[in-house]
Structure 1
Amino acid sequence: MQNHATAPATSAASGASRFAELPATASHGPLRIEYRWVNEQPDAPEDDAPLVVFLHEGLGSIAMWRDWPQTLCERLGMRGLVYSRPGYGLSTPRAAHEKWPVDFMSVQARDILPALLDALAIELRQRQRMWVIGHSDGGSIALLYAALYPEALAGAVVIAPHVFVEDLSVQGIAQTKALYESTDLRAKLARYHADVDSAFYGWNDIWLDPAFRRWSIVDALAPIRRPLLAIQGHEDNYGTMAQIDTIAARVPHAQLVKLDACGHSPHRDAPAALNDAIAAFVRAQP
C-alpha cells in the first residue's frame, strides 16, 4: 500500500537508473529490472561495506522512496540497492491482460530477488552480510525471503508488513481505487511509473480479489532465524498492530517497534524515529 503521491519523483540513489536482464523461468517471462546503487563504492572491494536491499511498497518504485534510502545508508555506513519490481517504475510492465497470482509476493521473494542478486553478481558471502528492508508489500516479501533463504542475509527490517488480510486493508484499497478512477491520483502516480495502469491495477486487482482474502504467510514465518525488526505506526490505515504482533508470536526473537503519530509510511511520517530504531537494532547485532 502507499500514501498518495504528491511530489515529483526524486531519488538520491547514486546516478541514473540501470537495468538488469533476468531470464524467463517457470514463474515469469524475461524481465528488465530497473535498479540503482546508494553509496556505490566503485574503487572498493565488492564486499567492503555491507549491503542494504530496499523492497518498496505496493505502489512504489525507486523514485517513490525519494531520499530515504540514502539517508538511512549514510546513518548505517552501508551501501544500498534499490530496485523497481516488475510492473513498477521503469521495470518490465505487467501485460494488460495479466493478473497477478495470489502468491505473487512469494514469487518475488523466491524467484525475482535472488535472480536480481545473481544478475548483479552479489555472491553468497556478500548476501550473508546483507540487510533486507521492506515496506508494506515489500515488508511481506522481506519476511518471505528471510524464511526461504535464512543463510542468505544478515537480518531483516519490515515496516508496516502484511502477514494476513485484514478488513481494514481491503477497505483502504477499495477507497484508493475510487480515488484513482475519479481524482488526479492517477496523474500523480504517473510521475513514478512508466506504465501507471500496470502498477496500479496489478496491485489493486489482486488485493481486491475475493480469493486473496484467504492469503496468509503466517505459517511460513517459522524458519526465520536471522535478526528481525518489525515496525508499525499506531495510525496506519492499512493495517493494525495484529500484523506485527502475529510476527512476534511466530518468530520469538523478533523485536517490535510501535510508532506514535505515524501512519502507513514511517519513512515519510516519522523518519527520525524510524531511522533511530533501525540504527539501534542493526548496531546491536553481533
Structure 2
Amino acid sequence: MQNRGTAPATSAASAGSSFAELPETASQGPLRIEYRWVNQQSDAQTDDPPIAVFLHEGLGSIAMWRDWPQTLCERLGMRGLVYSRPGYGLSTPRAPDEKWPVDFMTAQARDILPALLDALGIDQRQRRRMWVIGHSDGGSIALLYAALYPDALAGAVVIAPHVFVEDISVQSIAQTKQLYETTDLRAKLARYHADVDSAFYGWNDIWLDPAFRPWSIVDALVPIRRPLLAIQGHDDNYGTMAQIDTIAARVAHARLVKLDACGHSPHRDAPAALNDAIAAFVSAQR
C-alpha cells in the first residue's frame, strides 16, 4: 500500500507527544502514530501499574482529551496510553482522495491498535491487565477490540458508543457538516489536528454515506467476555439509550450507567459522575 506521508513533528498541540512507526497492515500502509503516556513512571515493559488505553471520538485527538485521561488515571492508579488514530491529531493524515471503508472501525480494532501495542513493546502479559476506554467511535472500536481479542485485555469502558446507525446520529452529523462549512468550527478543530480536513471529512463522509446506514456491530459483540461498562448520557444528540441497551442484550454481564444532564461527551459534561462510575466498576474487578 502507498505510504501517505507523515504528520509534522512540531505543533502547539504536540507538546509531550511521541511518535510510533507502524508497519503496513492488512488495511493500511505504513503509519506514523502520535501517542503520549500518562503517569508513565518507568519503562513500558514493566507490569506495574496496569495500562489504560484511551480511544478518542470521531473528531478527537490526543489534545482534545485535555486533562481527563490524566485525572482518570490518577483516580484508577494506572498508566495511560493516549494516541491519535490515523487521520487525526499529528498522526499520518488521510489522503484527500481516500474514503474510509464501511468497516473502518473494525480495521482500527483488528489492525491498528494491536500494531501500536506491538510497536510500544506492550506484551501479552501486560495486555491481559490492560483496560480499553473508548468514547463514541472510539467506544465502538473498544467493543470490537474486546470481541476480537478477548484474552488481550482486563476489561473495557465504552462511553456513548455506537453499535448501529440511528437517525439521530445521521441528522446530528449532517448538522455538524453544515457548521464546519459555514461557521468557525473548522478553525476551532484546526487547533487539534495537523490536517483538519483529513480528520473531519474522513469521519463525516463515511457516516453520511448511504452505504454506511446498515452498518452494525451488534452480532460482533457476542464474544466479549471481559468486564464491560457502557455509559451514556440521557441528553446525547448523537445516539439514544438503545445503543447501550443493545450492548446489554448481547453481552449479559455488561454493566450500564445512564447519566442525567449529560450529552454526548460525559468526560466534559459530567466528569465527576463519569469518573465515579468508572472507578467503582474497575475497583470491583480487582
Please give the range of the TM-score, normalised by the shorter of the 2 chains: over 0.9
Give the CA deviation at 1:159: 0.1
- Flag as ranges the 4+ runs of structure 1 deviating above 6 A: none
Q: Does 1:86 align with 2:73?
A: no
* Residue correspondence of structure 1 range 134-213 to structure 2 within 5 A: 134-213=134-213
- Please give the secondary structure, in 1, of the residue aligned with 2:54: strand
Residues 238-269 of structure 1, C-alpha deviation per residue, up to 9 Å, x if partnerless? 00000000000000000000000000000000
Q: TM-score, normalised by structure 1?
A: 0.94
Residues 192-215 of structure 1, C-alpha deviation per residue, up to 9 Å, x if partnerless? 000000000000000000000000
- Alpha-carbon distance change, 160 to 66 in structure 1, aligned in 2, over 3 angstroms: same
> 1:126 & 1:43 partners in 2: Cα distance?
12
Give the CA deviation at 1:26: 2.5
* Residue correspondence of structure 1 range 72-111 to structure 2 within 5 A: 72-111=72-111
> 2:252 & 2:43 partners in 1: Cα distance?
41
RMSD of equivalent CA atoms: 1.2
Give the CA deviation at 1:48: 1.2
- Alpha-carbon distance change, 10 to 258 in structure 1, aligned in 2, over 3 angstroms: farther
Q: Which residue number corresponds to residue 61 of structure 2?
A: 61
- Please give the secondary structure, in 2, of the residue aligned with 1:16: coil
- Alpha-carbon distance change, 281 to 178 in structure 1, aligned in 2, over 3 angstroms: same
Question: Is the 2:231–2:257 Cα contact (8 Å) retained in structure 1?
Answer: yes
Which amino acid counterpart does residue 167 of structure 1 have in structure 2?
Answer: D
> 1:129 & 1:69 partners in 2: Cα distance?
18
Q: Which residue number corresponds to residue 4 of structure 1?
A: none
Give the CA deviation at 1:16: 1.2
- Please give the secondary structure, in 2, of the residue aligned with 1:214: coil
Which amino acid counterpart does residue 276 of structure 2 have in structure 1?
Answer: D
> 1:73 & 1:25 partners in 2: Cα distance?
30
> 1:167 & 1:110 partners in 2: Cα distance?
27
What are structure 2's unaligned runs of at least 5 residues?
Answer: 1-11
Q: Which residue number corresponds to residue 233 of structure 2?
A: 233
> 1:25 & 1:61 partners in 2: Cα distance?
21
Which amino acid counterpart does residue 95 of structure 1 have in structure 2?
Answer: A
Question: Is the 1:17–1:35 Cα contact (8 Å) retained in structure 2?
Answer: yes
Give the CA deviation at 1:44: 8.8
* Residue correspondence of structure 1 range 22-61 to structure 2 within 5 A: 22-42=22-42, 46-61=46-61
Q: Which residue number corresponds to residue 243 of structure 1?
A: 243
Residues 2-29 of structure 1, C-alpha deviation per residue, up to 9 Å, x if partnerless? xxxxxxx779xxx611000001123101
- Alpha-carbon distance change, 168 to 49 in structure 1, aligned in 2, over 3 angstroms: same
- Alpha-carbon distance change, 43 to 171 in structure 1, aligned in 2, over 3 angstroms: closer
> 1:43 & 1:141 partners in 2: Cα distance?
26
> 1:45 & 1:197 partners in 2: Cα distance?
36
Q: Which residue number corresponds to residue 6 of structure 1?
A: none
Q: Which residue number corresponds to residue 252 of structure 2?
A: 252
> 1:73 & 1:279 partners in 2: Cα distance?
10
What are structure 1's unaligned runs of at least 5 residues?
Answer: 1-8
- Please give the secondary structure, in 2, of the residue aligned with 1:191: coil
Q: Which residue number corresponds to residue 119 of structure 1?
A: 119
Question: Is the 1:10–1:67 Cα contact (8 Å) retained in structure 2?
Answer: no
> 1:89 & 1:10 partners in 2: Cα distance?
8
Give the CA deviation at 1:42: 2.1
Which amino acid counterpart does residue 111 of structure 2 have in structure 1?
Answer: D
Question: Is the 1:89–1:192 Cα contact (8 Å) retained in structure 2?
Answer: yes
Give the CA deviation at 1:46: 1.2
Question: Is the 1:234–1:262 Cα contact (8 Å) retained in structure 2?
Answer: yes
> 1:112 & 1:69 partners in 2: Cα distance?
20
- Alpha-carbon distance change, 10 to 194 in structure 1, aligned in 2, over 3 angstroms: closer
